[in-house]
Amino acid sequence: MTKQFAVIGNPIEQSRSPELHHAFAAKTGVNLDYKKILAPLDGFESTTKDFFAHDGIGMNVTVPFKEQAFALCDQLTERAKIAKAVNTLWMQDGKLFGDNTDGQGLVAAIQALGWDLKNSRILILGAGGATRGVIYPLVEAGAKQIVIANRTLARAEQLVSDLKDAVPQAQLSALSLEQLVGEFDFVINATSASLTGDTLQLPECLVFHHAYEMAYGKPSSFLDQAQERQVPSADGFGMLVGQAIEAFSIWNGVKPELKDFL
């Protein structure tokens, strides 16, 4: 029987999840169909319940519903609890389970580039949901120091205070964007600046050796500056594929190789 999957969001037309999951299915021999579902802004819960009531197996959740998905779940993985957001849903023993695979997607994408996270010092730009979702997986993968720099310093400080107990093996700290200084193995752009077409100006005194932009398919002033400095860099396509692979493997018990889909 064909297993039914979907991604839910609003808007949803832009989603590349169906093509990715169909490609994984073709590679691994899983028989599935994966659709896009546009839910009304006030209709996430009813649309999701309807999907699972009609034999849906698994659902990905995208903007703006990840926090609502978190609130709806009966059971959460550790990383979803820390992220306070869910992008992967499934039913098990009559209960709705939720995970967040975004952070592991980023880790897998960075590792696929051959970049080493062990004992690394990382600067993350931005202090929204995108940053919250990746801290724990980055530390699990070996990051030793993470500095969160945000335009609004108080938001970065709040995130550090929320997350520090969840990652005792790493040192977390907060900076404002104006205070940016120091040397980092990685800089990760988790702001929404590239999505809204805003410029992000990195100061000259900031030194970094790898640059990862979480957005993809958009012009990025962040990536332009990395390229001017001849620093190895990548956009967020690998992270997108990585989070999809992680969801696919939870649902289907078989894990495609990231490098086959980049």
List, by residue number, the catalytic residues: 66
Q: Is 135 in the site for ligand ATR (CB under 6 A)?
A: no
Total binding residues for ligand ATR by CB under 6 A?
Answer: 16
Q: Is 110 in the site for ligand ATR (CB under 6 A)?
A: no
Tell me the closest approach of the beta carbon of residue 130 to ligand ATR, in angstroms: 3
Q: Is 126 in the site for ligand ATR (CB under 6 A)?
A: yes
Which two structure tokens, joined as six digits, stand for 211? 């640059």
Residue nearest to ligand ATR (CB): 128
Nearest of 66, 41, 36, 67 to residue 51 by alpha carbon: 36
Q: Is 82 in the site for ligand ATR (CB under 6 A)?
A: no
Q: Which is nearer to ligand ATR, 129 or 238 (CB)?
A: 129
Q: Which is nearer to ligand ATR, 81 or 151 (CB)?
A: 151
Tell me the closest approach of the beta carbon of residue 156 to ligand ATR, in angstroms: 8
CA distance 112 to 238: 8
Q: Which residues contact 93 (CB under 8 A, 6 or more apart)?
A: none
CA distance 10 to 65: 8
Which two structure tokens, joined as six digits, stand for 35? 């659709």
| Terminal Cα-to-Cα distance of the chain (whole angstroms) | 29
Q: Which is nearer to ligand ATR, 152 or 161 (CB)?
A: 152
CA distance 132 to 146: 12
Q: Which of 183, 198, 224, 257 binds ligand ATR (CB under 6 A)?
A: 198
Which of these segments, 71-79, 101-109, 192-200, 205-213, binds ligand ATR (CB under 6 A)? Answer: 192-200
Q: Which is nearer to ligand ATR, 57 or 130 (CB)?
A: 130
- Site residues, ligand ATR (CB under 6 A): 126-130, 150-152, 155, 190-193, 196, 198, 200
As annotated, the binding site for shikimate includes: 15-17, 62, 87, 102, 212, 243
